[in-house]
Amino acid sequence: MRKIILAAAAGAAALTLAACSEGTQDAAGETVDSAAADAEANADAMGTAVEDAATDAGNAVEGATEEATAAADEAAAAAEAEVQDESTAEAQAD
């Protein structure tokens, strides 16, 4: 009689555990899907931020290069004007 009661209790515990396990599996699956969606959204946001930073850096380098080129041209024209005893405009025209 004790064995039958123990077997019945073990069976009931197994059924309870199985039912709980299915619900837990569903919840775990939803959690994984949610975490994957969050990770994807974060990766997209990070990618956009990196692209924007790269664009800004490229624009800054381009602007600095243009300014440096203009300053070098002006300095060269001023040096040529000094050496050839002419105006800066005449030196730039040469």
82: left (phi over 0), alpha (psi -120 to 50) or beta: alpha
Residue 46: HSE in the Cβ half-sphere, 13 Å Cα cutoff: 6
Instruction: Tell me whether residue 92 is exposed, middle or buried, using C-beta atoms within 10 angstroms of its C-beta: 0 to 12, 13 to 18, 19 or more.
Output: middle
- Count of domains in the chain? 1
pLDDT at 20 exceeding the cut of 60: no
Query: Is pTM, for the whole model, over 0.85?
Result: no
Identify the domain containing residue 33 by its residue range: 2-93
The tokens for 34 are 């949610």
Instruction: Tell me whether residue 75 is exposed, middle or buried, using C-beta atoms within 10 angstroms of its C-beta: 0 to 12, 13 to 18, 19 or more.
Output: exposed
pLDDT tens-digit readout, 29-63: 788 788 888 888 888 888 899 999 999 999 999 99
